[in-house]
Structure 1
Amino acid sequence: MALDIVIMAAGKGTRMKSRLPKVLHRLAGRTLLQHVLDTAAALGEARSLVVTGHGAADVEQSIAGSGAICVRQEPQLGTGHAMQLTVPHLAAAPGAEDTTLILYGDVPLIEPATARALVDACAGSCLAVLTLTLDDPTGYGRILRSADGGARVLGIVEHKDASPEQRTINEVNTGLMAAPTALLKRWVMALTNDNAQREYYLTDIVALAVADGVPVIAISAHDETEVLGVNSPVQLADLERRLQRRQAEALMEAGVRLADPARFDLRGTLEPGQDVEIDVGCVFEGRIVIGDGARIGAHCVIRDATIGAGAVIHPFTHIEGASVGDGALVGPYARLRPGAALGAEVHIGNFVEVKNSTLGRGAKANHLAYLGDATVGERVNYGAGSITANYDGANKHRTVIGNDVHIGSNCVLVAPVTIGDGATVGGGSTVSKDTPPGQLTVARARQVSIAGWTRPVKAKK
């Protein structure tokens, strides 16, 4: 059985009040469209076809490399018209069980299991539609069932075309469906725009299937959240919180202690160990791995990082593209930039920035310091206000600091330079040459006091 997945992504999204195409707005760090493409990918071997229209160039650029086939809809004359344009791209010689699944780029949280249930219900011979029962169905197309107990689906009527009696129906169409590819091709080419909107409605294929004697099967969505669409910033924000709550609950079920799941944001993947604690207001982006017993303080931003077992990340720390060793202490107000690799039991204190540097076990930079392009040995003490001057205006150079080194406060280490094992650099020194192991190096001007010196005063006008 060949499976084609068509994703409708041509809409303008007028109510978003944005120049950005609606499907490129972000939900939990990924575009709405990417969420749907990820669901499609989870279904296994299938071709994805994305119908673009408004902002087509931007939408197509955003998914370049995904393997999806893009089909432009210009002008946008409804979902039925969009499907008509995809017909030449569907399975060229469909077999008896070939199926087309139809998803929407602005309905991002459809679960793979639900999409799979639609495909399985279709089985290449039936029309399967995804429905939902709502207390307030305003705006949704209504599911029309037979009068003999309502077991058979007879059609779908859009809200604007529904009669007052039909508008009392609470079972609504979500728009998602799966159909036999061969029959779908014939049905969509038979659609007309004889309706209030003068558009080609894809939902009209339900009546065509009934007329052909093809069974129409209604599959119920798992919950409301997975079929909610995004049409406005308000709806996007609502869906964001729903998704974040879902992710928070999954983490808590895995044993993570969240101080407040309502103040938690995961915009990627988080792999936690046992007994992980996360305080309020933290944002996790990309791929994050957190070891057993680690604690993340309030209002941290962590992106593409590994946090070792027993590490403590104090509040207001930013970590990106870095690794933190077991038992390390970082922050508060620290910044680890890409390439920072902290060994076990390293201490990085407040207002310390580390970039593209490795720090050996037990090294400490407790406050107001910068380490860039440096290799720092074990048990080093790096003084407040000290920096590695790693950039000469054209190229970056590396600083090497041996084991058991003590760097005094307010030092400048001008790279490339090596500080030998056990060496001490006196406070206030500017070091531009390698220092020998085990010795004290002082590189600063001799202190001078000038008798009779008078401080300048402001000239009187």
Structure 2
Amino acid sequence: MALNVVIMAAGKGTRMRSARPKVLHTLAGQSLLQHVLQRAAALQPQRTLVITGHEAEQVERHVSATAPEVRCVRQQPQLGTGHAVLQASPALDASAGTTLILNGDVPLIEPATAQALATACGGERLALLTVTLDDPTGYGRIVRSADGTQVQAIVEHKDASEAQRAIREVYTGMMAAPTAALQRWVAALKNDNAQQEYYLTDIVAMAVAEGVPVVAASAADETEVLGVNSPAQLADLERRLQRRQAQALLEAGVRLADPARFDQRGTLACGQDVEIDVNCLFEGTVSLGDGVRVGANCVIRNATIAAGAVIHPFTHIDGDKDGVTVGEGALIGPFARLRPGAVLGREVHIGNFVEVKNSTLANGAKANHLAYLGDATVGERVNYGAGSITANYDGANKHRTVIGADVHVGSNCVLIAPVTLGEGGTIGGGSTISKDTPPGQLTVARARQVSLGGWTRPKKAPKP
């Protein structure tokens, strides 16, 4: 079925009390509008239009960056929902028999629900998406015929009588209409109402007058049709979405210590027998292999963690664009930090207050305490001492450190890159290494220890 999708994203969002356009506020790591765009794309429409208005340039830049194939249409000034669709009307694909209208601040509409709404229209009927709410305040009420079979009108909350406000079936702001009829109807809208705005909902009466059937499709879940108008509503929707995601993981066999203290802002793939403790945050694309255990209060972003690895509490893994890879059986943390380009082999140990960036550690390598490895290639079974660092930046360029297999680096060493440590060598504690070291030998680079007799510690001058 040929389909247009129109997404309403022109509103100011006054109740958000923010300089940021409402549709650009984030839910589970993505903007509200981005959620809607992804769901619209799943329907494979002929054309998708986003109606912008408040802070239009900012919203349009976001659309261009996240969905470059989508066209934006401006509504200036904002004179109501009907006026918004009127601005998009000339840009609709006339060959698409159905136009689906979605809201940019209703982010969790399921593609299946949107598809069902478009199907209910079928290019011939006006189809409204409705839901029954315990508290319908703020929503347009669905007014039906006496026998309840026909939709006769939608009455906005501001214009509804007390009797109409008692109706709990509400219009969600989403509809599907025959494209040609929609273009004709929005051109005929009037603003003779309390707000002097052009309401899209007034096309219901026009359809009834023309004998066009008006049907209602019901959303299966209240959460998928809830809009965001305030920080409180955004926070509520965040928790609803996180509970939904946590429930899906539980049903797949993941052990969550407390589903209420879990946050997923991206995609999370888990193998069998994965355990996740409380207050963990997953962002971007994360994969956890069989038997992975993640301790409390960890942040993991864009990372692949192989089977049997243990991520101890308070570890921060941020792969950014380059990603992070943790090998089988590795032990990470607590209080460790893995940055972009960290690639760890099997049974690597990264301990407390160790930072790794753009470095490869081969199987069995260990850096257990208070260390930094940046732009380094570390061989198998290397033991990297506490307090040691790779000095990889000369003030202008980054340089690489290569540490051969079975090297032992003592505590508090500085490895000034570019430098290579030969296999099986030992670096004495406190050494500053600026030249390549031979394999199998002890290398020490530090001043000889001396003790000075007769030396006295400086004293503070007496106060006048």
Both structures adopt the same fold (TM-score exceeding 0.5): yes
Letter in 1 for 2:461: A
Give RMSD over aligned pairs: 0.9
Q: Could you tell me the TM-score, scaled by structure 2's length?
A: 0.97
| Separation (CA, whole Å) in 2 of partners of 1:437 and 1:335 | 30
Kindly report structure 1 stretches of 4+ aligned residues shifted beyond 3 Å: none
Q: Contact 2:25–2:31 (CA<8 Å) still a contact in 1?
A: yes
- Find out whether 1:142 has 2:141 as its counterpart: yes
Q: Which residues in structure 2 correspond to 1:161-200 (within 5 Å)?
A: 161-200=159-198
Q: Which residue of 2 aligns with 1:307?
A: 305
CA deviation map 1:275-308 (0-9, x unaligned): 1000000111000000000000000000000111
Q: Which residue of 2 aligns with 1:340?
A: 342
* Equivalent position to 1:460, from 434, 459, 462: 462
* Equivalent position to 1:261, from 259, 262, 268: 259
The CA deviation at 1:161 is 1.3
Q: Which residue of 1 aligns with 2:448?
A: 446
Q: Which residue of 2 aligns with 1:225?
A: 223
Q: Which residues in structure 2 correspond to 1:411-422 (within 5 Å)?
A: 411-422=413-424
Letter in 2 for 1:101: L
Q: Which residue of 2 aligns with 1:282?
A: 280
Q: Which residue of 1 aligns with 2:120?
A: 121
Letter in 2 for 1:360: A
Q: Contact 1:244–1:266 (CA<8 Å) still a contact in 2?
A: yes
Letter in 1 for 2:400: R
Q: Which residue of 2 aligns with 1:8?
A: 8
| Separation (CA, whole Å) in 2 of partners of 1:451 and 1:200 | 93
* Equivalent position to 1:214, from 208, 212, 215: 212
Q: Which residue of 2 aligns with 1:273?
A: 271
| Separation (CA, whole Å) in 2 of partners of 1:378 and 1:133 | 62
CA deviation map 1:375-396 (0-9, x unaligned): 0000000000000000011110
| Separation (CA, whole Å) in 2 of partners of 1:178 and 1:21 | 26
The CA deviation at 1:419 is 0.4
Q: Contact 2:379–2:403 (CA<8 Å) still a contact in 1?
A: yes
Letter in 2 for 1:103: L
- Find out whether 1:106 has 2:105 as its counterpart: yes
* Equivalent position to 1:397, from 399, 415, 423: 399
| Separation (CA, whole Å) in 2 of partners of 1:442 and 1:378 | 22
Letter in 2 for 1:129: L
Secondary structure (helix, strand or coil) at the match of 2:372 reads strand
Q: Which residues in structure 2 correspond to 1:360-379 (within 5 Å)?
A: 360-379=362-381
| Separation (CA, whole Å) in 1 of partners of 2:461 and 2:239 | 62
| Separation (CA, whole Å) in 2 of partners of 1:138 and 1:460 | 75
Number of aligned residue pairs: give it.
457
Secondary structure (helix, strand or coil) at the match of 2:217 reads strand
Secondary structure (helix, strand or coil) at the match of 1:102 reads strand
Q: Contact 1:94–1:182 (CA<8 Å) still a contact in 2?
A: no
The CA deviation at 1:160 is 1.5
| Separation (CA, whole Å) in 2 of partners of 1:349 and 1:169 | 60
Secondary structure (helix, strand or coil) at the match of 1:64 reads helix
Q: Contact 2:282–2:300 (CA<8 Å) still a contact in 1?
A: yes
Q: Contact 1:386–1:408 (CA<8 Å) still a contact in 2?
A: yes
| Separation (CA, whole Å) in 2 of partners of 1:283 and 1:102 | 34
Secondary structure (helix, strand or coil) at the match of 1:315 reads coil
| Separation (CA, whole Å) in 1 of partners of 2:265 and 2:343 | 23
Q: Contact 1:359–1:376 (CA<8 Å) still a contact in 2?
A: yes
Letter in 2 for 1:112: P
Deviates more, 1:63-72 or 1:10-19: 63-72
The CA deviation at 1:353 is 0.2
Q: Which residue of 2 aligns with 1:94?
A: 95
Q: Could you tell me the TM-score, scaled by structure 1's length?
A: 0.98
Give unpaired runs (5+ residues) of structure 1.
Answer: none
CA deviation map 1:215-246 (0-9, x unaligned): 11100111111111100000000000000000
Q: Contact 1:187–1:205 (CA<8 Å) still a contact in 2?
A: yes
| Separation (CA, whole Å) in 2 of partners of 1:17 and 1:90 | 33
Secondary structure (helix, strand or coil) at the match of 1:214 reads coil
| Separation (CA, whole Å) in 2 of partners of 1:244 and 1:11 | 26
Letter in 1 for 2:367: A
Letter in 2 for 1:197: Q
Q: Contact 1:35–1:109 (CA<8 Å) still a contact in 2?
A: yes
Q: Which residue of 2 aligns with 1:355?
A: 357
| Separation (CA, whole Å) in 2 of partners of 1:87 and 1:168 | 34
Letter in 2 for 1:22: K
| Separation (CA, whole Å) in 2 of partners of 1:164 and 1:418 | 81
Letter in 2 for 1:83: V
Q: Contact 1:40–1:46 (CA<8 Å) still a contact in 2?
A: no
CA deviation map 1:368-427 (0-9, x unaligned): 000000000000000000000000111100000000110000000000000011010000
Give unpaired runs (5+ residues) of structure 2.
Answer: none
The CA deviation at 1:155 is 1.1
| Separation (CA, whole Å) in 2 of partners of 1:45 and 1:271 | 29
Q: Which residue of 1 aligns with 2:27?
A: 27
| Separation (CA, whole Å) in 1 of partners of 2:269 and 2:184 | 47
| Separation (CA, whole Å) in 2 of partners of 1:105 and 1:246 | 21
